């Protein structure tokens, strides 16, 4: 028992050695890190498996779509062959006349020199015309899809090239993007139009020479017949009469219609891209160098000399401000013209009564005092 009046004493706490605590703490940290690492690896593996399953599903779906498209085209081709064979049996035509007439229907040329005379032949011709429309629609869809995929691939390749130029820190005299010349930006479209024009011109010259010899017509009549064939007009005033001439015209229809269609598509793409170019803002690729900086300075000096803005308020023409770079981007991309920029800046200077380069409450009070 404790003696009366004597205060109690606290029992001393058991002592723990540092050697016993530190290893236990280190083991706990290692276990937590190991558990965290295993969880991260598990999440990564699950995500990878999910992506792999999605990729496999997408690959199977693409294979199925390709198989369906191929089956549909084969069915159309088989239907055309069967309709042609039935038409030959109903009309009593030879193989050359059957192929010639089928080609005129499929290409929608329709000269009118070979036409069905029986009721069965006319019904088969109606079915063949429907098949021709289906084939033309399918071909147009494929052409549009090919052009879209080609444009996507071209833009992706352009982005990769810009990234490569950015990483290599190289700037050429003529490059794509913001600092490119307008002729360089149009070079690709002009090249495609040139190739399409040369292809069509080569076909036209060959068609005129072959038609003049095969159909025994004059030069002007041969040129007229070639253009009527390529444009699928088919007036029927000049038609082949011999089997050799019909085989030649069949070949001209098969080749001339796509060549003329390609030329029209490239020409429309050229003018359409030129029109859309005013709404597309070019981006700067690569790094800044002395040549680009000098281009920016010359642009700012021209703007200042034409009194389109006050260069001193932007730090002069030796240092390029964000506003000046933005204006250069808009003008170089043909989104806005210099006159548009000048009109906007004149409006700003008119509203900036305090002449401090900013629109704030001082300008509001100044306008109120002047009673405007």
pLDDT digit string, tens, across residues 197-227: 898 999 999 999 999 988 888 988 899 999 8
The lowest-confidence range among 83-97, 160-174, 247-261, 303-317 is 160-174
- Cβ-proximal residues to 364 (8 Å cutoff; 6+ apart), any chain: none
At 303-338, the pLDDT tens digits run 888 877 777 777 676 778 888 888 888 887 777 888
Q: What is the pLDDT of residue 310?
A: 76
**Over residues 231-255, mean pLDDT:** 87
- What's the rounded Cα separation, in Å, for the pair 252 and 89? 26
Return the percentage of the chain with pLDDT > 90, whole number: 4
Helix (H) or strand (E) holding 267: helix 243-276
More confident site: 13 or 318: 318
Higher pLDDT residue, 243 or 286? Answer: 243
Is the pLDDT at 84 greater than 90, yes or no? no
For residue 235, give the DSSP letter: -
The answer to whether the beta carbons of residues 240 and 249 sit under 8 Å apart is: yes
What distance, in Å, lies between the first and last C-alpha atoms of the chain?
101
- Write down the pLDDT at residue 206: 93
pTM exceeds 0.75 for this model: no
Residue 362's pLDDT is 82
List the single range of 5-14, 62-71, 149-158 with lowest mean pLDDT: 5-14
Question: Over 80: is that where the pLDDT of 59 sits?
Answer: no
Q: How far is CA 99 from CA 83, 240, 249, 305, in A?
A: 11, 13, 11, 71
Cα 65 to the center of its chain, rounded Å: 23
Q: Give the three-state DSSP class for 285.
A: coil
277 falls in which pLDDT band (50, 70, 90)? Answer: very low
DSSP letter string, 68-79: HHHHHHHHHHHH
Q: Which residue has the higher pLDDT, 174 or 215?
A: 215
Per-residue model confidence (pLDDT) at position 2: 46
CATH of the structural domain 60-163+188-272, one choice from 3.30.2130.30, 2.40.160.40, 1.20.810.10, 1.10.287.70: 1.10.287.70
76 burial (CB, 10 Å; 0-12 / 13-18 / 19+) is middle
The domains of the chain are located at 60-163+188-272, 278-336, 339-371
Query: What value does the mean pLDDT of the chain take?
Result: 76
Per-residue pLDDT, 281: 58
Phi-psi group of 110: left, alpha or beta (phi > 0 → left; psi -120 to 50 → alpha; rest → beta):
left
């Amino acid at each position: 028992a404790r003696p009366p009046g004597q205060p109690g004493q606290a029992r001393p706490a058991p002592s723990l050695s540092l050697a016993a605590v530190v290893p236990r703490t280190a083991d706990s940290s290692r276990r937590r890190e190991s558990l965290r690492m295993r969880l991260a690896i598990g999440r990564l593996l699950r995500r990878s498996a999910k992506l792999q399953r999605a990729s496999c599903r997408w690959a199977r779906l693409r294979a199925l779509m390709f198989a369906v498209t191929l089956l549909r085209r084969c069915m159309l081709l088989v239907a055309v062959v069967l309709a042609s064979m039935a038409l030959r049996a109903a009309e009593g035509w030879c193989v050359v006349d059957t192929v010639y007439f089928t080609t005129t229907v499929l290409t929608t040329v329709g000269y009118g020199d070979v036409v069905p005379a029986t009721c069965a032949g006319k019904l088969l011709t109606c079915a063949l015309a429907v098949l021709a429309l289906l084939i033309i629609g399918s071909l147009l869809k494929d052409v549009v899809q090919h052009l879209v995929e080609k444009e996507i691939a071209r833009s992706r390749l352009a982005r990769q090239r810009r990234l490569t130029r950015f990483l290599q820190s190289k700037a050429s005299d003529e490059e794509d993007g913001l600092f490119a010349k307008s002729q360089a930006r149009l070079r690709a479209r002009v090249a495609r139009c040139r190739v399409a024009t040369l292809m069509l011109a080569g076909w036209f010259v060959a068609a005129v020479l072959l038609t003049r010899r095969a159909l025994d017509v004059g030069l002007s009549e041969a040129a007229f017949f070639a253009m009527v064939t390529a444009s699928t007009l088919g007036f029927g005033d000049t038609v082949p009469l011999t089997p050799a001439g019909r085989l030649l015209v069949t070949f001209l229809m098969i080749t001339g219609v796509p060549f003329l269609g390609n030329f029209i598509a490239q020409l429309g793409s050229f003018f359409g891209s030129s029109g859309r170019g005013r709404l597309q803002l070019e981006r700067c690729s690569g790094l800044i160098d002395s040549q680009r900086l000098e281009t920016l300075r010359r642009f700012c000096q021209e703007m200042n000399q034409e009194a389109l803005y006050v260069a001193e308020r932007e730090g002069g023409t030796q240092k390029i401000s964000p506003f000046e770079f933005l204006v250069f981007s808009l003008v170089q991309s043909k989104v806005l013209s210099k006159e548009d920029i000048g009109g906007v800046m004149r409006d700003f200077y008119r509203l900036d009564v305090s002449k401090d380069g900013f629109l704030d409450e001082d300008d509001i009070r100044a306008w109120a005092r002047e009673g405007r």
